[in-house]
Chains A and B, each alone.
Chain A
């Protein structure tokens, strides 16, 4: 259908490109959330194991 024949151009129209960008943004968000979870998990493991306790504190315990 030609432009001007009762149809106006819309910038809200969903395009395959928008889906691809959305997928990319969701993918990146999941990677970042995963990274935060891993750093948090590593911190919990290392702190509870006493990896960061000073040497003299470890002897006293």
Chain B
């Protein structure tokens, strides 16, 4: 191989700014930003708008940094799975070492800046979230147990608690309930995705529930977790962050979600395959709307409360 051919290969693979940004998982970051913002605005303490803006930005950067560290560790899995083959490392745009350096640097930067901008507790909670996602979920649980997504889901559930901590400097029952909502939502959301992603996880050797225990058990689990989720979601309506608007939203969405889960539970693989997993895909789509609208309703209640309305 001549020097010229080596150089031209390097030219084509050199990363653009967008490739580095893609390391931060922008779509996951948007969920982190939204739920953290709701947690911050739902808290009973006013935060200066600029401090609120900066805090949400640092939480987003921290979430993005954990995404980069996840891609660093899981580069081998990402290269096998169709869903993740286009990510910057398997695509050859960014090296694993670069992803690690960006992830570690941004993690430290985000936690320190959040501690300085808001308070030390919020900074520590963000550091714990990054640790939980990278070490507990990515390095330990993901390749070890089919309960990976159940326990690991906690990492994605922390942002509203961090938002609440930015305002109050601590934890309360309301922030724990917002955590529980996302925590209980993650398993049915992910397992529905697993059902129609077919052999992706199996090929990568990730012990997801449908790989280790079969699709029937996964369908049963989706139904059980959806019932538990409905109890948590509707119960939240009667706490400090709830109110009539939240209750109406929760009743409607949990009704639809339960219908979807029952429909998935009643189907067998032959039926699902015959219509290309139509119900599973629509349940997954509804799950995205489910979380967004629940937190949206909490935000509406909090906004109304500032004008003497909202809540009970």
Contacts from A to B (Cβ < 8 Å): 15, 17, 20-21, 23-24, 26-28, 38, 41-42, 45, 49
Mask: chain B, 8-27; 1 = CB below 8 Å from A; 0 = not? 00010011111011000000
In the complex, A49→B51 CA distance in Å? 12
B54 in complex: contacting residue of A24, A27, A38, A49, CB < 8 Å: A38
Contact (A42, B16) CB under 8 Å given A15-B11, A17-B11 = no
Is the pair A45, B51 in contact by a Cβ cutoff of 8 Å?
yes
Is the pair A45, B17 in contact by a Cβ cutoff of 8 Å?
no
Interface centre among A38, A41, A42, A49 (most CB of B within 10 A): A42
Is the pair B54, A42 in contact by a Cβ cutoff of 8 Å?
yes
B14 in complex: contacting residue of A20, A26, A27, A49, CB < 8 Å: A20
Interface centre among B17, B20, B54, B116 (most CB of A within 10 A): B17
Q: How many A-B residue pairs have CB under 8 A?
A: 32
A9 to chain B, nearest CB (A): 12
B11: chain A residues at CB < 8 Å are 15, 17
Q: Is B135 an interface residue (CB 8 A)?
A: no
Task: Known pairs A20-B16, A23-B17; list 14 more (Cβ under 8 Å).
Answer: A20-B14, A20-B15, A23-B16, A23-B18, A24-B15, A24-B17, A28-B17, A38-B54, A41-B54, A42-B116, A42-B117, A45-B48, A45-B50, A49-B48
Residues 31 to 80 of chain B near chain A (Cβ within 8 Å) = 48, 50-51, 54, 57
In the complex, A16→B117 CA distance in Å? 40
Closest chain A residue to B21 by CB distance?
Answer: A27
In the complex, A42→B50 CA distance in Å? 7
Q: Interface on chain B toward A: helix, strand, loop, or mixed SS?
A: helix
Closest chain B residue to A17 by CB distance?
Answer: B11
A41: chain B residues at CB < 8 Å are 50, 54
Is the pair A24, B16 in contact by a Cβ cutoff of 8 Å?
yes
Is the pair A21, B54 in contact by a Cβ cutoff of 8 Å?
no
A37 to chain B, nearest CB (A): 10
A47 to chain B, nearest CB (A): 12
For the complex of A and B, the 10 pairs showing the least CB-CB separation, nearest first, are A27-B17, A24-B17, A20-B16, A17-B11, A45-B50, A41-B50, A23-B17, A38-B54, A45-B48, A42-B117
B51: chain A residues at CB < 8 Å are 42, 45
In the complex, A23→B16 CA distance in Å? 7
In the complex, A21→B18 CA distance in Å? 11
A17: chain B residues at CB < 8 Å are 11, 14
In the complex, A27→B24 CA distance in Å? 15
In the complex, A55→B35 CA distance in Å? 35
Q: List 29 A-B contacts (CB under 8 A).
A: A15-B11, A17-B11, A17-B14, A20-B14, A20-B15, A20-B16, A21-B14, A23-B16, A23-B17, A23-B18, A24-B15, A24-B17, A24-B20, A26-B17, A27-B17, A27-B20, A27-B21, A28-B17, A38-B54, A38-B57, A41-B50, A41-B54, A42-B50, A42-B54, A42-B117, A45-B48, A45-B50, A45-B51, A49-B48
